[in-house]
A and B are shown apart, each in its own frame.
Chain A
Amino acid sequence: MSYSTALPTHHQTHNPLTDAYHGKSAETRHLKPNELSTGTTIMAIAFSSGVVLCADSRVSTGTYIANRASDKISQLHDHIWCCRSGSAADTQALTDYVRHYLGQLAVETGRVPEVKVAAHLMRRLCYENKDNLMAGVIVGGWDPVEGGSVYNIPLGGACMSMPFAIGGSGSTYIYGLVDSEFKEGMTKEEAVALCKKAVSHAMSRDGSSGGIIRTCVVTGDGCEREYVSGNRLPYGPAGW
């Protein structure tokens, strides 16, 4: 995650040339001074009975790693989670709001909220406040109606339902890998393995992604959190 709002007042400080010297990429140059961002790799795959969410753990300000073991997978409800990318502050606020709304809804309806409702709420917030937000979110989870499902909400606040989603600055490096390795109807084990493999590849090529891999597997039975140490990644440093 690593973006921020381009407010007019910031235009005076924004100079692509000098920014480049401050280690800001195209995606991070609109961040306010010292704003925490998570130049990120995030990913989610839906499988037959649930969904797996996956993320790296690097949070940076410019080129400094502010947190090397952060958790970018947040819980929105019992069986609904999301991967955050963009400004850490914005996405934390967003997830707080969605968590609040979903909690209220669950109490009012007395039933498990649907993943698409979570995605809709996230989308509304991202869309209505698009001028002030830098947030790219993947919402994933399980509900009794659809089973496992994944929704991607990119920068402008569109909402796309998809079999899998990848996001964050690191994702651009692994589109080819994931496109060729993903197949419909994967098992839980296959999905988890692909997530870890793909995210570790992204981490090795994207300077803004790194650290450890965190995963969250959500099914009707509950959620399992897991993490892979930075020195035990499926794909490590290579000399080419």
Chain B
Amino acid sequence: MASSGSGYDLSSSTFSPDGRIFQIEYASKAVENAGTALGLRCRDGIVLCVEKPLVHKMLVSETTGRRIHTVDSHSGVAITGFVSDGRQIVGRARDEAANYLETYGTTIPPEVLTSRISSYVHYFTLHGALRPFGASTLVAAYDPGTKEHSLHMVEPSGVSYEYYGCSAGRGRQSARTEMEKLAINPKQGEGELIDVQEAVKQLAKIIYTLYDESKDKPFELEMSWLCEGSGWRHEGVPKDVIASAVEWAKKEIEEAEEEDDDEMEE
């Protein structure tokens, strides 16, 4: 205990002598141990994907502990970390969206929604009496004004950035490496960017690639999209689409493994 924070980790209102706020770093740790959450910005929309660990065999998993939530007609968020903390953020995000719509008569722009979520999360890192949120939030939103879609992520520190692809949770590092191989960044990629149908398959593949059946808890895959095909509404990816994506992903992974084995034999 003394070695980790030397007394500077008791409150987020105190910096350590070398300029760190340990409470925020610990909050980030809480996210790093949670189920992987992925977001991908595609040519025609955005896909969110969360690995929801099934903590108990008797869990009624389909209707409880959801990680992806609708915030507004044109925006949705995925959360990972302490789900209860995440739900608090979701509630705030909805209030902000509804309030903006009531006041101005138009949908809240993605950047404004993200910055308001950020401010809220950041506020909890300022006061001695408060605990930072142990959750990261991926924000997928469409802007009817500019007709553009965007993906943001808000971290426990209250920092937020816009991404082509982003990840949080346990598998974030490897997932990032995998996502970098996909055609999602118009600045780097040559040829056409991938569409949401392809993204659903690729995200399923990433999640299953990272999954180790012998070590990890069984999980459920939650996916939503916000795309041309859904009329830019945030909706769950149809269950049969997820199922066939998973089937495809498992097959891909199996084939890749077989190839590896073959190579080894040679």
* A interface, CB within 8 angstroms of B: 101, 105, 108-111, 114, 116-117, 119-121, 123-124, 145
| A105 touching B145, Cβ below 8 Å | no
| A124 touching B103, Cβ below 8 Å | yes
Q: What residues of chain B lie closer than 8 Å to A108, measured between beta carbons?
A: 112
Indicate whether B109 reaches chain A with its CB closer than 8 angstroms: yes
| A117 touching B112, Cβ below 8 Å | no
* 24 pairs of residues in contact across A and B, judged by CB atoms under 8 Å: A101-B103, A105-B104, A108-B112, A109-B109, A109-B111, A109-B112, A110-B111, A111-B109, A111-B145, A116-B105, A116-B106, A117-B104, A117-B105, A117-B106, A119-B105, A120-B104, A120-B105, A120-B106, A121-B103, A121-B104, A121-B105, A123-B105, A124-B103, A145-B145
Quote the shortest CB–CB distance from A237 to chain B (angstroms).
44
Quote the shortest CB–CB distance from A196 to chain B (angstroms).
32
Find residues 88-110 in chain B having any chain A CB closer than 8 Å to their own CB: 103-106, 109
Q: What residues of chain A lie closer than 8 Å to B112, measured between beta carbons?
A: 108-109
Quote the shortest CB–CB distance from B210 to chain A (angstroms).
37
The 9 closest A-B pairs by CB, nearest first: A120-B105, A117-B104, A145-B145, A109-B112, A109-B109, A117-B106, A117-B105, A120-B104, A108-B112
Size of interface on B: residues with Cβ below 8 Å to A: 8
Most chain A CB inside 10 Å of its own CB: which residue of B103, B109, B112, B145? B145
A116 to B103, CA, bound (A): 12
Find residues 53-102 in chain B having any chain A CB closer than 8 Å to their own CB: none
Quote the shortest CB–CB distance from A108 to chain B (angstroms).
6
- Nearest chain B residue, comparing its CB with the CB of A123: B105
Q: What residues of chain B lie closer than 8 Å to A145, measured between beta carbons?
A: 145
- Nearest chain B residue, comparing its CB with the CB of A102: B104
With beta carbons under 8 angstroms apart, the residue of A114, A119, A121, A124 that contacts B145 is A114
- Nearest chain A residue, comparing its CB with the CB of B112: A109
Other 9 A-B pairs with CB < 8 A, given A116-B106, A120-B104: A108-B112, A109-B109, A109-B112, A110-B111, A114-B145, A117-B105, A121-B104, A121-B105, A124-B103
Q: What residues of chain A lie closer than 8 Å to B109, measured between beta carbons?
A: 109, 111
A111 to B106, CA, bound (A): 14
Q: What residues of chain A lie closer than 8 Å to B106, measured between beta carbons?
A: 114, 116-117, 120
Find residues 110-146 in chain B having any chain A CB closer than 8 Å to their own CB: 111-112, 145
A117 to B108, CA, bound (A): 12
Q: What residues of chain B lie closer than 8 Å to A121, measured between beta carbons?
A: 103-105
A109 to B103, CA, bound (A): 14
